[in-house]
Amino acid sequence: MRPPSKKLRWLSLALALGLWACDTPPVTSTPSPPPGDETPDETPCQGDDCQPDETPDEELTDEERYFPGIGGAPGTSPCSSDIGCDWQAAAPGGEAPFNQDELDSAELNEDGHVTLDASRSERKFIWIANTGEGTISKVDSSTVQEIARYRTGPPNALDPSRTSVDSFGDVYVGNRAGRGVTKIASGSECVDKNANGSIETSTGAGDIKDWGQDECVIWHRSLPDGGIIRALAAQQEGDRAVVWVGGWDSTIWKLDGETGDVLLRTRSPVPPYGFALDQEGNLWIANLGNLLGRIDTLQCLDETSCNQDACGNDGDDCVKQRINAPKSGYGITVDFKQRVWLGGNVMRYDPAQPQGQRWFAVEGLPFVHGISADEQGYIYGASLGQGIARMDADNPNDNTIIAGTAGQSVKGVAVDLEGKVWGINRQHNNAFVVEPGPGLHDGAVSETLTGLVSPYTYSDMTGSQLRFATNQSGVWRRVFTGCSSRDAYFHEWRYLRFDADAPSGSSILWQVRVADSSSLLGEQAWIDLGSSPALGSPIDLLALLEPLNLHQARYLEVRAQLSAARDDVQLHVPVIRAVDTVSICPPIIL
């Protein structure tokens, strides 16, 4: 049915208000004073001084009539009355305060406001590839319990190995057989593909859905002609995630994180064996030989800008760089001081130092496969058969093998978002957890997760590399529900208001999407509103949505992506204190 015209809508609203007014008591007139007691008239006004005391109702704007408080503080009602104005707020102390279920890598502070905290995150999963089974395990890193297991590709296109976790908690897994990448959602982005109102997905290690049947497996992208998939790195790019993929034949692809579409393809400066990103947008590339590669992703924007020859050791400003290393590498990570670490014969590369002083080769350690950094200034290396090595990032020759890990078949190592260290035991079909302790020699194995199948994972499997080495980010989201057509003449979204701060380089990206059914929201594209601190409040939703014929959709989802900014002293985090929506919704009065 076509929506009513504006004239008809306002006639309907006027009727509703008129019927409401009919229920109010009549006004009694005041009797005239006795003769002789009349008060003399005041001096009549002259010319332009004669103005009515009040603006006629038909000349009032919508804001004056229904939303006189629209310029007030978000979290407080802007409505003149409950007739025709619908107001919904997310704010502490109200009927619907912010809550943990709305957060992904964000948190509530002691005042109930949404913010970020470098020491804690609500997204606490580790994703471990079961190479021998063609699956990946989603494990709650707080409880050390496996909560889901997924197939990583179609039959005969499995053999998962490399992983990367984006800022939304979703994982990308590379399959060496079949040469493809699969995205699996952590929960919030799972899609009700059959529109039955529920998400069909794995509930544990023994519940593996057939390929194509799990609604948390978002997409699979076959990349058959660039070599075996050997490297992955997820990156936040504006309002979207992207993922960089490395094929052994020196091929690199950039994929859209939402769709899996190929955004660009380019030549790698070195045959890739692992990726890691820093906060300046540099994609660092591990190699099995005596080389380290780099691509500046802020300059590599499309195939034209990216298809440049690689510079050498002194090409710090080039799009691509090939750097000679003193020894051969293996795994790769970047620490929070933006230093690059290579496994194999463990080495540290500091691009901030002068040429000739950038490399440091660590002594006294066995060969290391996976390598990972924490927030406390330690580096961890997985030494197959030798245990987990721990070293001081500033003084790497000060190192040790963590007690209780010697003799384990540790292929990969990861630091979770609580600071615990995970060792992935390839031959033992398990993963063990180390509570590292504050000192180099402190810490021991605390728990073991069993039931894995030839786990072969040694890239970023928790999201910690992206978080620790780059600027931290998190998400708040809520679905607001408009009036039902059974209860109102019509409904249209008018305003989105927020009270938020984004200090010292931090930001908040605001987005909305709408649908007539809550089950269809996940299929709609996000609409960018802008970023705080530049974006002002209130936001005119009608001006944004009416040209798209979306202003009368029943459901409106709001997403705020918070991004912190780190300087040499501290991490600056944004905060959201209140968010509300305002819409017109005249009731049907019978």
Q: What is the 3-state secondary structure (H, E, C) of 92-150?
A: CCCCCCCCHHHEECCEECCCCCEECCCCCCCCCEEEEEECCCCEEEEEECCCCEEEEEE
DSSP notation for 374-442: -SSSEEEEEETTTEEEEEESSSTTSEEEPTT-TT--EEEEEE-TTS-EEEEETTTTEEEEEE--SSTT-
* Residue of 148, 372, 172 lying closest to 257 (CA atoms): 172
Q: Please state whether the predicted TM-score (pTM) of the whole model is above 0.75.
A: no
Confidence of residue 32 (pLDDT cuts 50, 70, 90): very low
- Look at residue 472 in the predicted model and tell me its pLDDT: 74
Give residue-wise pLDDT tens across range 138-162: 999 999 999 999 999 999 888 999 9
Computed over every residue of the chain, the mean pLDDT equals 86
Mean pLDDT of all residues in 562-589? 82
Query: How many helices (H) and strands (E) are present in the chain, helices listed first?
Result: 5, 40
CA distance 354 to 340: 15
For residue 19, pLDDT beyond 80: no
Class for the domain spanning 125-469 = mainly beta
Give residue-wise pLDDT tens across range 172-191: 999 998 899 999 999 878 99
Tokens of 333: 């990570």
CA distance 61 to 90: 27
For residue 37, pLDDT beyond 70: no
Domain range list for the chain: 63-117+474-585, 125-469
- Look at residue 81 in the predicted model and tell me its pLDDT: 63
CA distance 203 to 137: 11
User: What is the number of other CB atoms lying within 10 angstroms of the CB of residue 183?
Assistant: 24
- Look at residue 152 in the predicted model and tell me its pLDDT: 96
Confidence of residue 169 (pLDDT cuts 50, 70, 90): confident
Tokens of 557: 């989802």
| CATH number of this structure's domain 63-117+474-585, picked from the four choices 2.70.70, 2.60.120, 1.20.950, 2.60.40 | 2.60.120
Query: Looking at 64-73, 315-324, 517-526, which range is the least confident one?
Result: 64-73
- Of the two residues 350 and 5, the one the predictor is more confident about is 350
Tokens of 392: 């001081």
